[in-house]
Structure 1
Amino acid sequence: MYRFTEPFAHPSGSPIRELFKYVGQPGMISFAGGYPAADLFDVEGLNAAQTRAFESPVRCLQYGPTDGLPELKQEILALMARRGVKCSTDELLMTTGSQQGFDLLLRVLVGPGDVVLTEQPAYPAVLQALRLQQAKIVTVPIDDEGIDVAKLADMLAAGTVHRPKLLYTVPTFANPSGAMLTHARRIALLELAVRYGFLIVEDDPYGDLRFKGSALPSILALAKEVDGALPWVVHFGSLSKIVAPGLRVGWTIAPAEIARRCVVAKQTADLCSSPWTQAIAAHYLAAGSLERHLPHIAAMYGRKCDALCDALEADFGTAIAFHRPQGGMFVWARIEGIEGIDSSALLTNAIERKVVFVPGKAFFSDDVDIHSLRLSFAAPGIDDIREGVRRLKAAFDDGAQRRS
Structure 2
Amino acid sequence: MARTDPYAALRIKEFNIFLLVRFVLVFGWSMQFIVIEWEVYSLTKDPLYLGLIGLMEIIPAFTMALFAGHIVDQKEKRDLLALCIAAFSLMSLGLFLLTSDKIVGDWNTQSILYAIYALVFFGGFLRSFFGPTIFSLVALIVPKKIYPNAATWSTSTWKAAAVLGALLGGFSIHWMGVPKTLCLIFILVSISFGLTFLIKKKPILNPKIGEPVKESLKVGVRFVFSDKAILGALTLDMIAVLFGGTVALLSVFAQDILEVGSKGFGILNASISLGSIFSMFMTTYMPISRNAGKKLLATIFGFGLCIIAFGLSNSFWVSVVALFLSGATDGVSMVIRQTILQLKTPDDMRGRVSAVNSMFVGSSNELGAFESGLAAKLIGPVAAVIFGGTMTLITVTTIGAKNHTLRNLDLTKEIEAIEGK
**Shorter-chain TM-score range:** under 0.3
Q: Which has the higher contact order (CA 8 A, sep 6+)?
A: 2
TM-score normalized by structure 1?
0.25
